[in-house]
Structures are given as structure tokens and as C-alpha cells.
Amino acid sequence: MIIFPAIDIIGGQCVRLVKGDYATASKVAEDPLETAKKFEAAGAEWIHMVDLDGAKAGYPVNTEIYKNIAQNTGLKVEVGGGIRTLETIRAYLDLGITRVILGSVALKNPQLVADAVAEFGTDKIVVGIDAKNEMVATEGWLETSEVHYVDLALEMMKAGVKTFIFTDISKDGTLSGVNVEQLRKLRDATDGKCNIVASGGVHTIGDIIACRDLGLYGTIAGKSLYQGTLDLRGAIKIAQTINIRTMTIDDYDALYAMWIACGNGLNNFDDSREGIEKYLNRNPKTSFVAEENGIVAGAVLCGHDGRRGIIQHMSVLPQYRRHGIGHLLVKHALAALKAEGIHKVLLVAFKENAVGNAFWEAEGFTLREDLNYRNFALSDMIRYDPKYE
């Protein structure tokens, strides 16, 4: 589960509200960029940011702050507040923002959400559902609708949305604990087909454990971090339920079953037990498996030729694909390659696999349209997909 430290902005200042009431805004940190860097130093990989001025105005107000953090930290930045048009979404993504959060517009203009998912992809678009007494609130929580939060989520799923941030406004900024009951309703209604992020009320490590045990994708922590009731580094550690370890040939049966379940293209030589054993003997430290509750849920087969890394297979069982396992496997593989002095990485990419390619782009790989291959950190690739030729 991902822990998202939060920075909310009013008038260029880091603030927190109580139950969404702007009159309760209190400054919690001096400088947004320095605060983000502290979160990064504690182990955060993401940061959740809200333009509270923008949420009230209906258009972005504090854009430069988010751009500054996206371009001057290694954090993945998600931003919400006042995002009402495709042009605004595009502008944020062009600034280096990883994904944007659509709130009020999901209720008032659902077609825009569908258009955004179609144009930018599911990894770039998040819908924030904020509720008062289980009814969706909009316009910076200043208006309450007659739409139930679960009903809105189900409609947004039809539009292609895969990630939701759910906030119980009565809990937000109160340090009174997350609303486990409402989160469970949303989890059950979406039947494990979506990423659910809990927001509002996080107080102690107990809230992190509760969200983890619900099987949620993530939890947002704000006031608890600023007031010291929750330690970010400890929260990140306790949220981690996945064990990543080096691959051995003893994993072969589980790997082969996973490749079949994922529909991977296999060949009789390279992907045989003998072929994989030879590969691991050549590259004993750069391939990894991910275990969750003792089950091999994902794996990356990765090696190098002394100059460039090669990702041969990266698979995650379908039922585990909302758990961030793919990201963790890639992170470990790249770190292992770097430890062996390898900084250029390649993989085979299939043009027709839009979902898979979006994943690799989110991991920092890019597509060179002129040569039709993908690379990492603008480095050369040496293995080509025959379908490109």
C-alpha cells in the first residue's frame, strides 16, 4: 500500500483544514518544496497535493508550486483542485505532474472524465470522491449533492476510471481515524477492480494498518504527519505487505504458471527450466520475485550484457495488479543493475499493448517514435520487437 503525504495550498502556503472548512485553515509548514523534500527523504515516492484556492475558484491558482516540486524532487506528484478542462489536464501533465485528480467535474461533467481517460490513460486520471453523510460534495466541499458516493464510483468505472480517492469530509483534518465502514463499502462495491485511496482522519499507525488490511491501494496522511502523531517512515514500512526477493531456479514452476496466466509469449528454449537456469547463472542478482502472503504474485527476469540491462519478462498475476507490485519489481531490478554499474536498460514493447506501455512510461521509459523502441533515461536499446520491423 502506498502512503501519500499531503500538502494543501492556500495563497501559496502549506495549510490544513478541519472538515473542509476554509475558515479553519492553519499553516502547517513554511515552504512547500522543502516540505516535499523532507517527505522524500523519509522514503515517500508520491505526494498528494491540493490547490484549495483552485478548488474554490474552479481553475488552477497555485500551479507554479506543483511544477516546482515535480521538477525539483524525485517524487511522483498528483494534483487536484480546480481542474475542469482537458487543456488544464494536459498543461499539468506537460509540467511533469504524474497524474491529476478530477473532483467536482466527475459529478457535473462525467463526459469530460471519460474523454480525459481516453486521451491521457487510466494511469494519469484519478477521481476524487468527497462525501458528507455519504453524499458527494463538490466545489471545494461547499456544495453537497444528492448522489451517493458509491453510485458515483460505479458510474466513473463505466467511464474507464481505475483509481479513486475517497474522503469522508467529517473525518478530514480531525485526527479521528479513517472511516473503515465507508471504505469497505466502496471496496466491496468496486469488487477489487479499482485502486482505492483512503483520505481523511488518519491519526496513528493503527489507521495505516486498518487501510492496509482492507487491501486498499493507498492512504493519504496530512495533519497526522505535521502534528507528529504518525511517523512517515514507519507508516511506509508498516504499509508494505509485499516481500521482494532475488529469484532462484526453485521459483520456476510458479513463474511458468504465472506466465501462462498472464498470457505471456514463451519459447521452448529460453523460457524452459534449463534456459532460465542458465540465465540466472549469468545474472544471479538482478531478477526478482514478489511474494504476498507467501504467494508468488509477480516477477521480473532481468539481466545485462556488461553494458546494458535487459528486461526479459515482467509479470504480475491479474488479481494482484492493484498492489503496486510491478513498480516495486522494476525498482529493485533497476537498483540491482545500477549496483553492477549498468545504467542503460531496455525491454521489448508491443505497440498494441497500450496498458502495458503506459505502465512502462510511468516507470520512466520512453518511446522513440523514429526508431520504434523504448529506452530508460534516454539511453540506447539493443533488442527490437520484430513487430516494429
Beta strand pairing status for 46-51 and 125-132? unpaired
* 142 Rama sector, left if φ>0, alpha if ψ -120 to 50, beta otherwise: alpha
State whether the Cα torsion 316-322-323-324 is positive or negative: positive
State yes or no: is 130 an active-site residue: yes
Alpha-carbon gap, residue 73 to 282, rounded angstroms:
35
Instruction: Please give the grid coordinates belonging to residue 384.
Output: 527490437
Which residues, 6+ apart, have CB-to-CB distance to 25 below 8 Å? 10, 15, 16, 17, 52
**Burial level of 92, CB count in 10 A (0-12/13-18/19+)?**
buried
Q: Contact at 8 Å (CB) between 358 and 350? A: no
**Residue corresponding to grid cell 504465472:** 258
Quick check: helix, strand or coil at residue 11?
A: coil
* 295 Rama sector, left if φ>0, alpha if ψ -120 to 50, beta otherwise: beta
Alpha-carbon gap, residue 43 to 199, rounded angstroms:
20
Concatenating the DSSP letter of every residue in 219-283 gives: EEE-HHHHHTSS-HHHHHHHH--EEEEE--GGGHHHHHHHHHHTT----TTTTSHHHHHHHHHHS
**How many other C-beta atoms lie within 10 A of the C-beta of residue 55?**
28
Alpha-carbon gap, residue 43 to 227, rounded angstroms:
18
Annotated catalytic residue, options 53, 130, 168, 251: 130
User: Catalytic site residues?
Assistant: 8, 130
